[in-house]
Amino acid sequence: MKLDWLNDFSDPYLKTISGQGVFLSGIILGMLARYQVDKAEDIDSAPIFKQLMFGKMQRRDLLRHLSRVPELIRAYDIPYKGLVEKLSGKAGDLLLKGTAEMGVDGNFVFSVAFLNASEYFWRIFGKAEIDKQE
C-alpha cells in the first residue's frame, strides 16, 4: 500500500490524519459504488451513491457508511476484496486517530476521492499487489 503520494497535494486538510482518513474513505465508497452497478450504468444509480449526502456529510455519517463496508463487499461481490478491506482498515485507523469534523474541506476531499476512486485505488496498490490478489 503506497500512500506517500498523498504528500504531493498541497491542501492543508489533506495533510491532517482526519483528512487522509476521509480521502481514503472516499476512495473505498467510490469503488463500492462503481461495482454496485453494471459497467454500462452511471454511478449515480448505485445504492450507496443515493445514500451519501454530498456536501453535507458529517464524520458520524462517514463512519456509519464505513461500518457497512465488509457487508457490502460480499453482497455485491466486489473484486479485489482483500485490497478494499486493507484500505478500509487503514481509513478506519486514520479516522480513529483524528477527531476533526469534516466541514466544507472534508466534504470536498471526500467528493474528489469518490469521483476519482479507480485512479487513486490503482495508485495506492501497484500492479504487483493487484497480481497477488488474483
At 130 the pLDDT is 61
d(CA 26, CA 107) in angstroms, rounded, equals 9
At 46 the pLDDT is 92
At 78 the pLDDT is 83
Q: Let me know: does 17 contact 96? Beta carbons within 8 Å.
A: no
- Domain segments of the chain: what residues? 14-133
At 39 the pLDDT is 84
At 126 the pLDDT is 80
At 7 the pLDDT is 87
Q: Let me know: does 91 contact 66? Beta carbons within 8 Å.
A: yes
Q: Taking phi first (over 0 means left), then psi (-120 to 50 degrees means alpha), and beta for anything else, what does residue 14 get?
A: alpha
Divide the 134 residues of the chain into consecutive groups of 10 and give the mean pLDDT of each group. Answer: 89 93 96 90 91 93 93 86 92 91 94 94 79 60
Could you give the angle at which helices 17-36 and 103-115 cross, rounded to 10 degrees?
Answer: 40
Q: Let me know: does 22 contact 106? Beta carbons within 8 Å.
A: yes
d(CA 57, CA 51) in angstroms, rounded, equals 11
At 127 the pLDDT is 66
